[in-house]
Copies of this chain bind each other. A is one copy, B any other.
Amino acid sequence: MRKRSITSYDVAKAAGVSQSAVSRAFSPNASIAKATRERVLEAAKELGYQPNAIARSMSSARIGAQQKTGLIGVIFTRFEDPFFARMVADLSRSVQACGWQMLLFTVDTHSEVDSALNTLMQYKIDGAIIMSTILSDQMAQTCRAREIPVVLFNQSVEGLDVNSVQIDNRGGGRLATECLVETGHDRIAVVGGETGDATLMARETGFVEYLLEAGVELFIREEGNFTFSSGREAGLRLFSRRESPDAVFCVSDVMALGVLHAARFELGLQVPQDFSLLGFEDIPAAEWPGHSLSTIRQPTRRMIRDAVNILVDNMQDLDSSPRRERYKGTLILRESCRKRNLPEATQR
């Protein structure tokens, strides 16, 4: 039998007040005399008492307080990507700053999200943020029915009645392509993602779209799965062809770095002399001197902040209609891209 932990009753006895008074002493807006509160707080300190958040949320459940458990579920995936790894840390800070705790659940595939949410709901989370993955239509409805606000971060689902915060991936893809076309490239390859990933597909769609409008033919497409090594392999394939591309757009930075390392260190090519390279996301390693990778930057901090704010707002007003924030990406031009038309471009 374990030790009983000290409760508000112990403090009440020590302070010579009722248990209710102890509870009030720890509730910011409760009606309690200043002197009483101080006496209680002192006794609590002496005994090392801290209110039990779990019990607290049980009692509040009845009322329908805004912060019921103080728990926010976060479902996380794609940790291979430094962009996302960092994100958890930032998110964690934001959530803490708002006075919530973060219950983290890691999944490997989209299909696990529903069951993860189910588990999290057993803990009566006040809300959920889903990073870089999606939930089923059915589960979205369940969340609404149970009044658990959800925010999709870096993903969205057409027609789904859920908050989302996301960069304009298609626009970003266009931006990248425009840069490549404007600087006179005409053998432009793309390293896309698997077709299941809406985010990556949208970037590629923007790319294809712009190419079409500009009347430039797609040189060749390779596919990767968001990892460095898949980028490396794509790069190896890209430059083992009879005719090589003069520009490569990768739908993620990590893959772009894979292409870069393969081309430069395994095939002896030079960037941007032999080809221009463009990524997406602007991860820290993109600006390392040896990489100097041009890319489309996402306003990550801002997106995180907004995601948390939207969640908090929605928790306060459960009936508000879903918000879908879209952000423009910024072209960050580094040395991996040829800056102006090359002589040969004028020769045409």
Contact = CB atoms under 8 A, between A and B. Distances in A.
Interface of A: 1-3, 5, 48, 50-55, 57-58, 64, 69, 71, 74, 76, 79-80, 82, 85-86, 88-89, 92-93, 96, 101-106, 118-124, 142, 145-147, 228, 232, 257-258, 260-262, 264-266, 284-285, 288-292, 318
Nearest to A86: B79
A318 B2 CA distance: 9
Nearest to A142: B48
B118 A93 contact: no
Contact of A64 (B2, B71, B124): B2
| 6 shortest interchain CB distances as A-B pairs | A85-B85, A2-B64, A79-B89, A92-B106, A265-B289, A265-B290
5 contacts: A51-B122, A79-B85, A85-B89, A102-B104, A285-B285
A288 B257 contact: yes
A142 B261 CA distance: 50
B121 A50 contact: yes
Nearest to A108: B93
A261 B284 contact: no
Contact of A53 (B5, B82, B124, B284): B124
A106 B93 contact: yes
Contacts of A119: 101
A307 to B, nearest CB: 16
Contacts of A257: 288
Given A64-B2, A86-B85, A228-B288, A103 B106 contact: no
Contact of A289 (B1, B48, B89, B261): B261
Nearest to A257: B288
Contacts of A103: 71, 101-104
Contacts of A264: 290
A260 B54 CA distance: 50
A175 to B, nearest CB: 26
A74 B106 CA distance: 14
Contacts of A105: 92, 96, 101-102
Contacts of A79: 85-86, 88-89
B58 A55 contact: yes
Kindly name the residue among A57, A92, A289 whose own CB sees the greatest number of chain B CB atoms within 10 A. A289
Contacts of A50: 118, 121-122
A226 to B, nearest CB: 13
Given A54-B69, A85-B85, A85-B88, 6 more contacts: A71-B123, A79-B88, A102-B103, A102-B104, A228-B284, A290-B290
A1 B146 contact: no
Most interface-central of A89, A228, A292 (chain B CB within 10 A): A89
Nearest to A285: B285
A118 B44 CA distance: 14
A292 B290 CA distance: 14
Contacts of A89: 76, 79, 85, 106
A266 B285 contact: no
